[in-house]
Amino acid sequence: MKNIIFDWSGVVRDTLTCQLWIVNRIFKRYGVTEITLEEFREDWRQPPALFYQKYLPEGYNEEERSKLFQELQLDKDCPKVAVFSEVVKLIHKSKDKGYFLSVVSSDFPETLLPEVKEYGLENIFSEIITDANDKLEPVQKIIKEYNLNLQDTFFVGDSNHEIDVAKKVGIKSIAVTWGFTSKLKLRAGNPDYIVDNVQELENVIL
């Protein structure tokens, strides 16, 4: 049996436009010049503080920045997010095959958990861990708690952070190119697999 740990934003749901809108509103609040989508995808880092430290004034308050992010995420002018419906179908296929499925995400529970219900993914995941800016400990927790076989465990993400975490804990990394990070940057992280579409992802995990 395979074990799949999914990141959420940039993997299951398309939040790229929303994320860039929020980032540039935060930059404006701190008097920083806006960036383009291409710049964002080249520079994005996880945990998010690593990204903001590059742009925001030295000594800025990360807790205040995080609170501002939450407020902007609920702003009526924030671009709406969309679901990657083919990924949802693949998750259901994986569940039907008896796979262990879980989520480790930096998203806030106020947004992620309602989306799980909205996307028809209730009772699919054995574990959902939210607000995980550094995903190392949550992934270690899941592996230990559920006694997962490392050779059969995959971490699906859209940033180099997920690649690094997978390497540290000894599981396989799958980097998707439709999320927050450019393919060039993902490739530099040397993931076990890099996939450009959901069919390629399915070929790896099913």
Mean pLDDT over 75-86 rounds to 94
Which of 60, 38, 37, 35 minimizes the C-alpha distance to 49? 60
pLDDT over 90 at 9, yes or no: yes
Query: What does the pLDDT read at residue 103?
Result: 99
Query: What does the pLDDT read at residue 181?
Result: 95
Q: Tell me the pLDDT of the chain averaged across its residues.
A: 96
Mean pLDDT over 154-171 rounds to 98
Q: Are 74 and 5 in contact (CB under 8 A)?
A: no
pLDDT over 90 at 161, yes or no: yes
Q: What is the pLDDT of residues 180-193, one digit of tens each?
A: 999 999 999 999 99
Mean pLDDT over 16-36 rounds to 97
Q: What does pTM read for this prediction?
A: 0.91
Q: Which CATH class is domain 3-14+82-205?
A: alpha beta
Instruction: Label residue 46 by pLDDT band (50, 70, 90).
Output: confident
Mean pLDDT over 162-171 rounds to 98
Domain ranges of the chain: 3-14+82-205, 16-73
Query: What does the pLDDT read at residue 17?
Result: 94
> Quick one: 182 exposed, middle or buried, by C-beta within 10 A (0-12, 13-18, 19+)?
middle
Query: What does the pLDDT read at residue 205?
Result: 96
